[in-house]
Amino acid sequence: MPARVWVPAYVGIGSNLDDPEHQVRAALQALSGLTDSRLVARSGTLRNPALGPRPQPEFINAVAGLLTRLAPVDLLDALLAIEQRQGRDRGSDVRWGPRRIDLDLLVYGDVAMDTDRLVIPHPGIATRNFVLFPLLEIAPGLRVPGLGPVQRLVAAFKQQTTGQVSSTWVAPVTLQSKAP
């Protein structure tokens, strides 16, 4: 059942199989068609090494900003349906392994929740450059529930990874945000 008000939500997008840039674009197109939701911002795309088992191809990542009236679990179900339509089978995935598409609900308004199905904000948000930098690009004033301003999270990430950033952060594939 849709919420009565529009809620800002942010979705992490990643792919490292089957033309990853195309997969990310297809996911953004699918997000733009979600019921009771509007795609209002999208970051540039970033190329970065995979976190999981090696060897595997580099990932292309982006973040989408939505306004939605879907409840958090309904939005999660919509994201999982997009993944499935793009050929992802979560049942056969290796944790942090290669994947055609990965959609993660990062932030949903000011909601903090931890259930068997969904944890918001996403538990890895503060430690993942491929989430933090795109979030900063499209929502520099965002306050992540329980963690604080995205600007502070990025500064803390940079402080913790001084000297290491070059091994995990690669220049953006595209630089400009695109709002539909």
148 inside domain: yes
The stretch 22-32 carries a mean pLDDT of 96
Q: Is residue 175 part of a domain?
A: no
Tens digit of each residue's pLDDT (9 = 90 or more) over 58-83:
999 999 999 999 999 999 999 999 99
Residue 99 annotated among the catalytic residues of the structure: yes
Please report whether residue 112 resides in a domain: yes
56 found inside a domain = yes
Non-local (6+) Cβ contacts of 82 within 8 A are 27, 30, 31, 101, 103
Q: What is the pLDDT of residue 163?
A: 56
The enclosing domain of 27 has a CATH number of 3.30.70.560
Catalytic site residue from 42, 47, 99, 100: 99
Residue 173 resides in a domain: no
- Domain count of the fold of the chain: 1
Domain that holds residue 138: 7-168
Look-up of token digits 């979560």: 90
Q: Give the residue among 127, 137, 9, 14 at the shortest CA–CA distance from 74.
A: 9
Looking at the DSSP bridge assignments, the partners of residue 60 are 15, 47
Q: Using one digit for the tens of pLDDT, what is the confidence trace for 132-141?
A: 999 999 999 9
Tokens of 101: 């598409």
Confirm whether 110 is a catalytic residue: no
